[in-house]
């Protein structure tokens, strides 16, 4: 027998006397677990004591007291029942708040993108106005050949500039 079966037998002993088979099974379990013997004896004494108690007498107005308690409980339930619209109002307010925030965020995002687009177009227009005429590129070969000219370090250029002063 395992601990779970032992517990079930103890709980069964609370409600009724154990059958001879159950009692024999329990005695085998208690023989293998002497530490549980004292607990079983306490449970058995308590169950027998409770079974031997006389039933408490009912008062003469027991039925009326029960009906009054039921009426009180019904009134409490009626007072605590919330109308349908009051149950959903906080949820609707939460959903409305989320939708408003979402709508505002989307509008701000669109306005920001329109401003960025406007700034980009203005910069492009400014650059397009500053592009030189095609005649400037006529000397492109001469400018391109300057890349192959010997390069001097900054120190050499500074030295040349200092000598000329």
Query: What does the alpha-carbon distance between residue 9 and residue 68 come to, in Å, rounded to a whole number?
Result: 40
pLDDT score recorded for residue 112: 86
pLDDT score recorded for residue 102: 95
46 falls within a domain: yes
pLDDT in tens, 18-72: 899 988 988 888 888 888 888 888 888 888 888 888 888 888 888 899 999 999 9
List C-alpha distances in Å: 72 to 61, 64, 66, 78, 80. 17, 12, 10, 10, 12
pLDDT score recorded for residue 94: 93
- The tally of domains found in the chain comes to 2
pLDDT score recorded for residue 96: 95
157 falls within a domain: no
Average pLDDT over residues 87-109: 92
Are residues 90 and 45 located together in one domain of the fold? no
pLDDT in tens, 60-75: 888 899 999 999 988 8
Q: List, in order, residues 6 or more apart from 36 with CB less than 8 Å away.
A: 6, 29, 30
CB-based burial label for 25 (10 Å; 0-12, 13-18, 19+): middle
pLDDT score recorded for residue 69: 93
pLDDT score recorded for residue 165: 65
Are residues 48 and 3 located together in one domain of the fold? yes
CB-based contact 30:60 (threshold 8 Å): no
69 falls within a domain: no
161 falls within a domain: no
* CA 102 distance to own-chain centroid: 21
Query: What does the alpha-carbon distance between residue 35 and residue 41 come to, in Å, rounded to a whole number?
Result: 11
CB atoms within 10 A of CB 13: 19
This prediction has a pTM of 0.34
Range of the domain at 43: 1-53
pLDDT score recorded for residue 134: 73
């Amino acid at each position: 027998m395992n601990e779970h079966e032992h517990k079930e037998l103890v709980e069964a002993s609370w409600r009724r006397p154990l059958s001879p088979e159950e009692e024999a099974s329990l005695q085998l379990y208690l023989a293998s677990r002497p530490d549980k013997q004292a607990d079983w004896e306490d449970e058995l004494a308590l169950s027998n004591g409770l079974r031997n108690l006389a039933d408490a007498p009912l008062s003469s107005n027991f039925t009326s007291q029960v009906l009054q308690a039921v009426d009180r409980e019904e009134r409490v339930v009626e007072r605590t029942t919330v109308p349908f619209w009051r149950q959903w109002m906080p949820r609707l307010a939460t959903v409305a708040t989320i939708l408003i925030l979402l709508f505002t965020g989307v509008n701000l995002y669109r306005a920001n993108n329109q401003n960025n687009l406007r700034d980009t177009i203005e910069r492009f227009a400014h650059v397009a106005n500053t592009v030189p005429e095609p005649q400037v590129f006529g000397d492109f070969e001469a400018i391109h050949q300057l890349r192959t000219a010997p390069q001097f370090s900054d120190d050499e250029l500074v030295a040349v500039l200092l000598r000329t002063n």
